Amino acid sequence: MQLKDVNLTKEQIVEYTEKYMIETYPRMPFVAVKAKDMYIYDSEGNAYLDFYGGIAVNNAGNCNEKVVATLQAQVGQIMHTFNYPYSIPQAVLSKLLVEQTGQGKLTKCFYQSSGSEANEAAIKLARKWSTDKYGPNRFYGLTALKGFHGRTYGAASATGQPESVIQVGFKPMLEGFKYIEYNNLKAWEDAIDENTAFIMVEPVQGEGGVRPGTQEFIQGLRDLADKHDLALIFDEVQTGAGRTGTFWAWQGFGVAPDIMSFAKGTGGGVPFGGILANDDKAAAFGPGAHGTTYGGSIMCCAAALAQCQEIIDRKLPANAEKVGAYFRDKLATLPHIKEVRGKGLLVGAEFDFPGAAAIKKIGIANKLLTTAIGTSIIRMVPPLIVTEADCDKAFDILKAAVEEAYKQTK
Ligand SMILES: Cc1ncc(COP(=O)(O)O)c(C=O)c1O
């Protein structure tokens, strides 16, 4: 069957999906067929205001014109070759990504196809660097409670949520991780021993409830890494590509890591990710030390190049900072709000009742897309092209949704 010949009803699409797929996702009740800028359109012609951005991916807007044009041109020319030949998109994108870290900060990159894979590469690089230098026992990583690094085994093992669905049923996890309370610097200092190789955190915890690292904590981790010769890894999968007000979130803290992972918003909708590292750590990966069929795919690098260039040219990090501040101030006036957290356009609104699922559902019925975390947090990660007027519209829908959801819980 050719896709162009398919003519299914919404009910049939739902039926096929439920019958033929292993479903692990709570689906939104519509079929997405088109997207542009701040909106996603369903099969019945409804337009949804997109405040989840494909989960912090569509940073330059849904179906950004330049990303689409670049990808179309690239796909028509060459889609995939593996990493044996040199390629123009890889070479140019690598230069851009390294230059975005500032003079002499992070100097080399390695590509993967997702955020989880990017974190696998970061963990492997840190372990290799440490065990090459200090011997086979020095491979432990300290990671944060309530952190999130992905669903593959290494990334899930690094995820400090041992009692959650991420780990329960999948144990034993990979050996070598200790989970420490986020923003509690003293606890990290106390946890370091002779087998510690690296520290890995998100500069702002995303999936764990949108919790920004404090300046003291992020700087303190850098100091601890320097003092004990540990690799400091920042997971920028969700915070990167302009989301928090600077191209990389660590730039907002003025604290550079030794290794960082990226994915999501840097690719703009294609499966893309990777790591950046400084010379010292990057040198631990020699020929054959790591590899991937799709990481660094020509078409994905072409799309990522267009996406990152758009983020830079349109000054989207600055927009994220300005509109994010406006939106968070406004959210603080919502009924039943307990706390508004975040940085730039990585925004979490925590309510004083367990209504997140209902708020999200009522929002969707009124054509606003958000995501729920836990029982009482709504997370919003819209495209970074979002305007204050878009935020006003989202706010009005949210306000009505909160009031309705509260009534339902009574
Ligand atoms: C901070 C962080 N790291 C890693 C990941 C995993 O990325 P992916 O889903 O692309 O594997 C995510 C996904 O939400 C994330 O937020």
120-153 pLDDT, tens per residue?
999 999 999 999 999 999 999 999 999 999 999 9
Q: How far apart are CA 222 and CA 229, in angstroms?
A: 10
Task: Average the pLDDT over 180-203 and give the result.
Answer: 98
Kindly give the distance from the C-alpha atom of residue 2 to the centroid of ligand 1, in angstroms, as a whole number. 32
Distance between CA 48 and CA 366 in Å, rounded? Answer: 8
Given the DSSP bridges, would you call strands 204-205 and 377-380 parallel, antiparallel or unpaired? Answer: unpaired
Task: Answer for the pair 211, 221: CB distance below 8 angstroms, yes or no.
Answer: no
Q: What is the dihedral of CA 59, 60, 66, 69, to 10 degrees?
A: 40
The stretch 310-324 carries a mean pLDDT of 98
Average pLDDT value for the chain: 97
pTM for the model stands at 0.98
Q: What is the DSSP secondary structure assignment for residue 145, as one 8-state letter? A: B
DSSP 37: B
List the domains of the chain with CATH numbers.
3-59+315-409 (3.90.1150.10), 67-313 (3.40.640.10)
Q: What is the pLDDT of residue 410?
A: 78
Please give the distance, rounded to the nearest whole angstrom, from the Cα atom of residue 116 to the centre of ligand 1.
Answer: 6
How far is it, in rounded angstroms, from Cα 59 to Cα 308? 9
Query: Who contacts 407 (Cβ-Cβ below 8 Å, separation ≥6)?
Result: none
Lowest mean pLDDT among 2-6, 32-36, 129-133, 308-312: 2-6
pLDDT digits (tens, 9 = 90+) for 31-41: 999 999 999 99
Q: Cα 390 from chain centroid?
A: 22
Centroid of ligand 1 to alpha carbon of 53 (angstroms): 14
- For residue 104, pLDDT over 90 is answered with no
Q: Please give the average per-residue pLDDT across 81-105, as a whole number.
A: 95
Residue 86 has pLDDT above 90, yes or no: yes
How sure is the predictor about 303, in pLDDT bands with cuts at 50, 70 and 90? very high
- The contacts of residue 238 (CB under 8 Å, 6+ apart) are 55, 56, 115, 202, 204, 206, 207, 264, 346, 381
Q: Is the peptide bond before 257 cis (omega within 30 degrees of 0)?
A: no
Nearest-angstrom CA–CA distance, 376 and 396? 19
What is the tens place of the pLDDT at every residue in 322-348?
999 999 999 999 999 999 999 999 999
How many angstroms separate the CA atoms of 121 and 157, rounded?
A: 14
User: What is the average pLDDT across 304-324?
Assistant: 98
- Which residue's CA is the closest to the ligand 1 atom numbered 10? 115
Ligand 1 within 6 A of 390 CB?
Answer: no
For 108, other C-beta atoms within 10 Å of its C-beta total 16
Q: Report how far apart, in Å, the C-alpha atoms of 195 and of each of 123, 141, 179, 235 are.
A: 15, 9, 15, 22
Confidence band for 27, pLDDT divided at 50, 70 and 90:
very high
pLDDT score recorded for residue 103 = 85
| Mean pLDDT of the 66-89 span | 97
Are 328 and 340 in contact by the 8 Å Cβ rule? The answer is: yes
> Using a 6 Å cutoff on CB, does residue 115 contact ligand 1?
yes
Q: In the structure encoding, which two tokens stand for residue 219, read together?
A: 């700087």
Q: Rounded to the nearest whole angstrom, what is the distance from the C-alpha of residue 237 to the centroid of ligand 1?
A: 6
**What distance in Å separates the CA atoms of residue 148 and residue 237, rounded to the nearest whole number?**
10
**Per residue in 206-225, pLDDT tens?**
999 999 999 999 999 999 99
Task: Give the pLDDT score at 118.
Answer: 98
- Is the Cβ atom of 119 under 6 angstroms away from ligand 1? yes
Residue 402 has pLDDT above 90, yes or no: yes
- Scan for tokens 């009031």, then name that residue: 403
What would the mean pLDDT of 21-48 be, rounded to a whole number? 97
Least confident of 37-41, 304-308, 398-402, 405-409: 405-409
What is the pLDDT, as a whole number, of residue 271? 98
pLDDT tens-digit profile of 223-256?
A: 999 999 999 999 999 999 999 999 999 999 999 9
Ligand 1, atom 16, lies closest to the CA of 238
Query: Residue 92 — pLDDT band, cuts 50, 70, 90?
Result: very high
Question: CB of 206 closer than 6 A to ligand 1?
Answer: yes
Cβ within 8 Å of residue 106, ≥6 positions away: 98, 256, 257, 259, 260, 276, 277, 278
Residue 386 pLDDT level (bands cut at 50, 70, 90)? very high
Region 177-190: mean pLDDT is 98
Q: What percent of the chain has pLDDT over 90?
A: 98
> Does residue 138 line the site of ligand 1, with CB under 6 A?
no
Q: Is pLDDT larger for residue 72 or for residue 410? A: 72
- Calpha distance 398→328 (Å, rounded): 13
What local confidence, expressed as pLDDT, does residue 409 receive?
Answer: 86
The pairing of beta strand 204-205 with beta strand 346-351: unpaired
Residue 398, CB half-sphere, CA atoms under 13 Å: how many? 32
Query: Of 205, 201, 254, which Cα lies nearest the Cα of 225?
Result: 201
Residue 310 Cβ inside 6 Å of ligand 1? The answer reads no
The residue with tokens 């390695």 is 110
